[in-house]
Structure 1
Amino acid sequence: MLHKVSEKTMHRVRWLLTLGWLLLIASLFYDPITIAWTDASNLSSPFRVNLDQCIKIRKTCLPQSSFSMSALIWWAMIVPSGIFILLVFGHEFWRRICPLSFMSQIPRALGIQRRRKVVDRLTGEARREVVTIGENSWLGRNHLYVQFGLFVLGLGLRILYVNSDRFSLGIFLIATIACAMLVGYLYAGKSWCQYFCPMAPVQMVYTGPRALMGSQNYLEPKTTVTQSMCRTTDAKTGQEQSACVGCKAACIDIDSEKTYWTELNKPGRRLVQYGYLGMVIAFYLYYFLYAGNWDYYFTGAWTHERDQVAKVWDTGFYLYDRAIPIPKAFAVFITFFVLIAITVTLGLILEKLCRKVVVKKGRSISKEQAQHIVFTLFTVTSFWVFFSYGARPSLNRLPEYPLFAFNALIVLVGSLWLYRTLRRTRSQYERENMATSLRKQLQKLSIDPKLLEGRSLDDLSPDEIYTLVKVLQGVSQQLRLQTYTGVVLDLLRQKTIDASGSFDFCQQLRQDLQLTDAEHFSTIETIASINPELLAFSQATEQVHSAVTLAKTISKPTGKPSV
């Protein structure tokens, strides 16, 4: 949604949000302002303390007094706002305003990023270049496990140490900023966001293939800068330009839906999607399991509870008026792991049931589509469960009608997102993505106007473009191969695909044009000879060249197309 807003404007917005966040962190150490809002004598404040209210932890009433609202503002206002932004406005909106992402880029802005010496294989010249995390490295393959583990650890530390201890929360947030800046120094691009940030799995869950109001950049005129990708402003021309260093091939900042379908089976992807729902349930359920009542959570008493750190080894469970002698430090993570195991198992079972139910109705469904359906159901469930508890310590202070309106908004937003996401397929995305390139190639041909019924090619939908492509089966193989080459070349120029990913991405188009796999590899070789810059030397390119050689050996294209 913000991808069209200039970088200069967004730079100012990020500075304002960052300064606001730093001010909030400072208030965790010294806050003479918000403490007055909770004073029992301040009758104009909805946050004033009720000294007569008994908020129990088990059988003991917590002492009531005025408190700083810094922790309450962070946990019950700002964090829920971030979740709402992700589902409604999209990953691109969040990434362009995120203060932590902004601060991770400070080493790049100062020109102090770590660099290593690299020798050019062709010229032998040495140069120093920034360091990126390889996609095939251990972290590149398993970063979802790392990020989800940090997410679970962070929530555990939150309950044990930083929920209400303002000093601990301040140190925790400062340490997180320091880690983001350190990663920004060690690795180029948005390596912190892509490979380390514990919030990234949450973004992945709530964005899905596309947010409710997120952009679909592949349907718009192609530009060098899309969605939330790294960008800079040219000092001479004032024009925005890409600052992408290729820290990740299927980058969510360039095309979030492409990343969704590409990484659907990435190691750790199911754990993130299904385990996140378990974490949402476990996190809020633990307040009840610990205190023996819901008042402790819904009143927000946990944001200003005294001596929280000293209670780490307190009894962790209290059920049916009985304390279960398991230390809180262990009870928190036991709750997390049990709920994660339950929801992950449930998700895997539902994937299998989804395929069986659809097959019984006489229709077929791929394993990938069944996974997408269950992913979608888990996301909207997580959203509704989160807002049944998240932000409630502040929302419940509102009058009845505004609170009812907010609840209705959450149900409506989740329902709309579910409606437009549930039936989404990879093939729909690929057709829409390829439609622009196909139009360019079709405009080069002499199309009979009767086929278009008086409309222009620009008026046709992606499905109609594909239908028209099938008409090309009746023309010569040379013309079909020329059209295919033009589409692949256009997609490579737009960085929609790379050389290694073009084979699978264009498979359906080859079938529609009745071209062989060997002809695809010949196309890639032709493009490499004419536009070598589009196939920059990499391991993926080596694999393509090997495939070309193999294809030539086992299959030589003939004048007669294969089906």
Structure 2
Amino acid sequence: MLSSVPERKMLYVRSLLLVAWLTLIMSLFWDPYSAGLTGPVKETSPLSVAHHAVIVQGVELRVEPYALGTRVFWTIVIPIMPLFLIVFGHEAWRRVCPLSLASQIPGLVGLQRYSRKVERRTGAIRKTPQVMSRQSWLARNSWYVQFGLLFIGIVARILVINADRKAMAIASLSIISAALVTGFLWGGKTWCNYFCPANIVQKIYTEPGGILESHPHHLRPKLPQSMCRKATADGDIGACVGCVANCGDIDLQRAYWSDVLDPQRRNVYYMFFGLIIGFYEYYYLYAGSWDYYFSGVWTHEEGIWEKMLKPGFYLFGQAWPMPKVCAAPLTLVITCTLSLVLGRTLEKLYRRWRSRDNSKSEILTIHHCLTVASWSSFNCFYVFGGQPNIILLPELAGRVIDIIIVVSSTIWLYLVVHQNPCRYQHESRTRTAR
């Protein structure tokens, strides 16, 4: 959708989003204003603590007026992202992502590592950005590495980052710093392809294409989709350094079909569904009721550090002795494992059912399983994601949001299920023959 927008304009957009993110981070250290909207005297405000009476582990949780930074980020900014991904697609996100800009800053200011290569014919020395070896352990296991980082981040959210403003600010700055360091060490989109935890979410919700994704195999543009590019006086030029094979920024469908049978991809898709289930289920297992989650009090809970060693489960009207620091990751490990087993089992059953038709390929079998897993994860997320704020809206507004989510995911499911590699190859050949 944004593939034809000049790089200079998109650089401004990414810069604006990065500045907005940094501003939000700074507000986590100092925000003397927004807490006034949540004080008990502001009874007309839906965010006022006067409306909060949440029972956690059988005891009413004390709620003080709070700054809104964490609530805005976790219940507004984050819930918008999956819908953006599924509608506008991979190329739009890659061209606006502020973390992508952070990883490119070293190259933009000339602080990137380069390797020198001698041209055989001319003897000229050519400098090229360093790239990670595609045979390295990290490149071969990037799916598991990024999912592992995402898992650690989700556990950290439950334990500390959800509610502790400074911890969230430090975590955000650490991620931005990691992107900067990666951009210094390697060129291209190494951060995006090998390290960024959000890349897992992006792949699951956009591949083999978002609803409004462009199709470079139809048009053969000079600079397809979100391909790395550089702005010049004569217009944009390609700046690909070959950081990954079958790059999704050049042709997302080709990258997807070439990698769809990778066992790592399948395992991560199935475990991601369990990660979502476990993340939201833990709020109930911890508090003993759903009021704790839907009230949004977890975005500003007091004494979060002290509670890490207190009981992490409250079931059947009593606290269980396992500390929260162990209970949270254990819950996620169990749900990820169960969803992996469920996904693999359903995949085998579907393969057996399709085996009656000899014309059906293994690629399509896996593609259908991954598509359903993505669709299920998306809709499961929105049963909970953003709801602490959505329930504060007028009922009609909440219904409209629900309809938009369901319609968008259904359209995406229909479009993606009907994609297949033979159709992709046929469309590519047809365009080439013209």
1:366 to 361, 364, 367: 361
**Is the CA contact 1:117–1:126 (under 8 Å) kept in the aligned structure 2?**
yes
One-letter code of the match for 1:230? C
Separation of aligned partners in 2, 1:120 and 1:437: 32
Instruction: Give the CA deviation at 1:134.
Output: 1.6
Q: Does 1:325 align with 2:321?
A: yes
Number of aligned residue pairs: give it: 434
Gaps of 5+ in 1: 440-563
Amino-acid identity (%): 39
Per the alignment, residue 167 of structure 1 pairs with 166
**Is the CA contact 1:358–1:364 (under 8 Å) kept in the aligned structure 2?**
no
Instruction: Give the CA deviation at 1:322.
Output: 2.2
Which deviates more, 386-395 or 305-314? 305-314
Encode CA deviations 1:52-102: one digit per residue, 9 max, x unaligned: x42011111111221111001111111111111111110111111111111
In structure 2, the CA distance between the partners of 1:122 and 1:336, relative to structure 1 (3 Å rule), is farther
Instruction: Give the CA deviation at 1:40.
Output: 2.5
**Is the CA contact 2:43–2:50 (under 8 Å) kept in the aligned structure 1?**
no
1:230 to 228, 231, 235: 228
Separation of aligned partners in 1, 2:394 and 2:18: 32
Separation of aligned partners in 1, 2:216 and 2:312: 49
* DSSP-derived class of the 2:309 partner: coil
Per the alignment, residue 339 of structure 1 pairs with 335
Per the alignment, residue 30 of structure 2 pairs with 30
**Is the CA contact 2:53–2:61 (under 8 Å) kept in the aligned structure 1?**
yes
* DSSP-derived class of the 1:89 partner: helix
Separation of aligned partners in 1, 2:420 and 2:347: 16
Per the alignment, residue 427 of structure 1 pairs with 422
Per the alignment, residue 248 of structure 2 pairs with 252
Encode CA deviations 1:403-441: one digit per residue, 9 max, x unaligned: 0111111111111111111132111111112211122xx
Encode CA deviations 1:349-398: one digit per residue, 9 max, x unaligned: 122211222344x5642222111111111111111110110111111110
Per the alignment, residue 398 of structure 2 pairs with 403
One-letter code of the match for 1:192? W
1:302 to 298, 303, 318: 298
Normalised by the length of structure 1, the TM-score is 0.75
Q: Does 1:216 align with 2:215?
A: yes
One-letter code of the match for 1:226? P
Separation of aligned partners in 2, 1:127 and 1:400: 62
Separation of aligned partners in 1, 2:141 and 2:64: 47
Which deviates more, 404-413 or 102-111? 404-413
Instruction: Give the CA deviation at 1:126.
Output: 5.5
Instruction: Give the CA deviation at 1:39.
Output: 2.1
Q: CA RMSD in A?
A: 1.6
One-letter code of the match for 2:130? V
Residue pairs, 1:19-418, within 5 angstroms: 19-50=19-50, 53-118=52-117, 128-220=127-219, 222-235=220-233, 237=234, 239-360=235-356, 362=357, 364-418=359-413
**Is the CA contact 1:355–1:366 (under 8 Å) kept in the aligned structure 2?**
no
Normalised by the length of structure 2, the TM-score is 0.96
In structure 2, the CA distance between the partners of 1:118 and 1:240, relative to structure 1 (3 Å rule), is closer
Q: Does 1:17 align with 2:14?
A: no
Of structures 1 and 2, the one with the larger relative CO (CA 8 A, separation 6+) is 2
Instruction: Give the CA deviation at 1:124.
Output: 6.8
In structure 2, the CA distance between the partners of 1:123 and 1:139, relative to structure 1 (3 Å rule), is farther
**Is the CA contact 1:317–1:324 (under 8 Å) kept in the aligned structure 2?**
yes
One-letter code of the match for 2:423? Q
**Is the CA contact 2:102–2:176 (under 8 Å) kept in the aligned structure 1?**
yes
One-letter code of the match for 2:290? W
Per the alignment, residue 535 of structure 1 pairs with none
One-letter code of the match for 2:389? S
Gaps of 5+ in 2: none
